[in-house]
Structure 1
Amino acid sequence: MPIVHIELLEGRTQEQKNEMVKEVTEAIVRTTGAKEEAVSIVISDMSKGNYAVGGKTLVQK
């Protein structure tokens, strides 16, 4: 049973997430032979204030 965890920065629409889930599921099924109903996907939306690069959060200027 494949379990996929995806972390995204906030701001994607539900439609974008739905399409991503569809395509990721198809890729997992195609490459592993798993049944579609066995694929689980967990999406975590992160606030830009909770993600940092180079010592600065994405909300810092």
Structure 2
Amino acid sequence: MPLINIQMIKGRTLEQKRKLIETVTKAVCDSVNVSPEKVRIVITDLELENYSISGKLAIDKDN
């Protein structure tokens, strides 16, 4: 049973998450020949204060 973890910066809509789940599920099914019922996906929304880029918190990064 494939278990997929997706971490991304918070801010996506519910509809975007639905589309992501559908797309990833199909890709996993096609790639490893399993049925959609076997695929598990966990989405973790990251706050900018809990994510860093190049040694700096993303919340502090210059735009």
Shared fold (TM-score, shorter chain, > 0.5): yes
Structure 1 gap ranges (5+): none
Which residue is 1:12 aligned to? 12
In the alignment of these two chains, the number of paired residues is 61
Q: For 1:59 and 1:50, how far apart are their aligned partners in 2? A: 8
Aligned AA (2:26): E
Aligned AA (1:14): L
Tell me how large the CA RMSD over aligned residues is. 0.8
Kindly, what percent of the aligned residue pairs are identical?
36
Structure 2 gap ranges (5+): none
Q: For 1:36 and 1:59, how far apart are their aligned partners in 2? A: 36
* TM value normalised by structure 1: 0.94
Which residue is 1:30 aligned to? 30
* TM value normalised by structure 2: 0.91
Moved over 3 A (4+): none
Which residue is 2:54 aligned to? 54
Superposition deviation, residue 54 in structure 1: 1.4
